[in-house]
Structure 1
Amino acid sequence: MGSPEAAYRVGEGGVLDVDTAFYDRLAARSDDQEVVEHLVLPIRSGLAWEVPAGHLFRIIAPEGPQVGDLNLWNRHDPRERLWASRTRQLQSAHVSRHDRLWSTLPRLRPLATITADSLEDYGTDADGGRVHDLLGTRCDPYVNRILTGEDFDLHCHSNLTRAVLPYGLTEFDVHDVLNVFQCTGLNNEDRYFMKASPARPGDFLEFFAEQDLLCALSTCPGGDLSVPLWGPDARDPIDVCRPLAVEIRRPSPDLLQGWSPPEPAAYKGAHGLRGPVQG
């Protein structure tokens, strides 16, 4: 018996029909990309950075397996930000090359498109685990207090909160993440599980910025997630924590021919309301 069709589908040539040749050309011609900034995130820290539209950025595991929690915003209007649940529906629960990261209503458009993934061949393992997930979200000190009765200030939510403060944002702007290099799935009880990250030294996930972006990343305090964070076997996983790196790359102008930033969703209705509607 085949599996059911995806619910969110569109005809050929629609918004979900990605120009794969364009993104593959960007990825293949890495020699025609200038590295304009190289950033390193120490363990259990957070960092925010800007990426202009038409540039690429890579998240790299320079020393081996380490999970990173990624947030994205429109640099000029942070109310437009990554919408993890809609991206799960339009793309998949685990993302890779050619998948797009979609923004919140009312804009609903791609923020970034994945151009390269050195873990693309990992596929689905014997437990049903896959990498780069949108299934779960960031660890946070509130749930940690619920589960353990203890306070810890270096969870991904806190790392991201500290990272975006210089940009005038607060923890209310931190949102559901893309878990980069994280291996997850749903078990036989339909409950979320996490496995040790399969990332190797030098593995990377590369994105093309479809808009001017503000990005923030946390080096998860769980490290490579090979050590349980909660439950009877939990212990401090600091020994399996490693840094992450970020490269911002400017492609040769000829590689961008034919590309333009995506327009907001075309719906201009009033949601059935009568009278003036705030835009």
Structure 2
Amino acid sequence: MRVPTTTDVPTSSRPQSKSHADPFAELPTPESFCCNAVLTRHVVPAAHGYAFAVTKGTRFRIIDLKGEQVVDFMAWVHDKPFTRLEKMSTAYTRYHLSGVQPAVGESLWTNADRPLLRVTADTVKVHDMTFMSCFPGLYTKQGLQGHRSCAQNIFEAMQSFGMEDILDIAEPFNIFQNTPNYSLKRLGSSKPGDYIEFEALEDAVCAVSSCPYDLDGFNGGVITDIAVVIAKKK
């Protein structure tokens, strides 16, 4: 699979208070993603999930292969032992970013009020931090028994990291989801090959779901594969 490239994405011009600014190293360029790194690629089948661990300083991309595909994303601090207690929190992230989604150079924060993942490149810049993951009961109530869901996808993927209950999933950062004013309709913003790239600020376990929500034209009405590409430093 070819790793998409893009021109340099400028850092955010949004003003930050001194206490909320991320005190980290200079932002890398998108072109440097492949430099001095070993790439690991994983294609996540449509309507399924995948979990993976990354060490501090690792960069990775989540790629929409076909376009208009929402990706539910969650992350936990990979402490030792791995308790899954400290996790990415959209509530803390909204607080630090004054209620809006992270721009390039800004971070996703944890429920312990620490930055966990920094956005280092983003070809779409439209995402969602308001909706929960779709869950089995949501579809059952609509007569769709057995329909796959993001909550189930994440839970299944995280069982290899010791998760025992679907209620242990975290709050999702809904990548590529365009839902202004809480509107769930066909407003897909990502094109084939679009991606968002993160840098891990701590050791972390991450999980993604190719969102199975196919009602009313959401996700373009057709659920498609996504990809995760991890660039591990040599």
Query: Above 0.5 in TM-score?
Result: yes
CA separation of 1:11 and 1:61: change in aligned 2, threshold 3 A: closer
* 1:182 alignment partner, SS class: coil
Q: Is the 8 A contact 2:59 2:232 kept in 1?
A: yes
Contiguous gaps of at least 5 residues in structure 1: 1-8, 121-130, 230-235, 253-279
1:232-269 alpha-carbon deviations (Å, 9 max, x no partner): xxxx94xx1110000111347xxxxxxxxxxxxxxxxx
Farther-moved stretch of structure 1 (175-184 vs 91-100)? 91-100
Contiguous gaps of at least 5 residues in structure 2: 1-14
2:197 is equivalent to residue 203 of structure 1: no
C-alpha distance in 1 between matches for 2:233 and 2:87 = 24
Name the residue aligned to 1:101: 108
1:65-90 alpha-carbon deviations (Å, 9 max, x no partner): 21110010012231000111121121
Q: 1:32 aligns with which of 23, 27, 35?
A: 35
Name the residue aligned to 1:227: 217
Q: Is the 8 A contact 1:196 1:226 kept in 2?
A: no
CA separation of 1:65 and 1:35: change in aligned 2, threshold 3 A: farther
Q: 1:118 aligns with which of 120, 123, 134?
A: 123
For 1:184-195, what aligned pairs fall within 5 Å after superposition?
184-186=179-181, 191-195=182-186
2:94 is equivalent to residue 88 of structure 1: yes
C-alpha distance in 2 between matches for 1:33 and 1:140 = 40
- Larger Rg belongs to: 1
Name the residue aligned to 1:134: 129
Name the residue aligned to 1:249: 231
Q: Is the 8 A contact 1:35 1:247 kept in 2?
A: no
CA separation of 1:149 and 1:222: change in aligned 2, threshold 3 A: closer
CA separation of 1:101 and 1:79: change in aligned 2, threshold 3 A: same
CA separation of 1:226 and 1:55: change in aligned 2, threshold 3 A: farther
CA-CA distance at 1:40 after TM superposition: 0.6
CA-CA distance at 1:55 after TM superposition: 0.3
CA separation of 1:221 and 1:93: change in aligned 2, threshold 3 A: same
Q: 2:68 aligns with which of 54, 65, 69?
A: 65
CA RMSD of aligned residues (A): 2.5
CA separation of 1:108 and 1:20: change in aligned 2, threshold 3 A: closer
Task: Return the structure number with greater relative CO, CA threshold 8 A, min gap 6.
Answer: 2
Q: 2:205 aligns with which of 208, 214, 217?
A: 214
Q: Is the 8 A contact 1:136 1:192 kept in 2?
A: no
CA-CA distance at 1:213 after TM superposition: 0.8
CA separation of 1:250 and 1:226: change in aligned 2, threshold 3 A: farther
C-alpha distance in 1 between matches for 2:32 and 2:190 = 23
2:161 is equivalent to residue 155 of structure 1: no
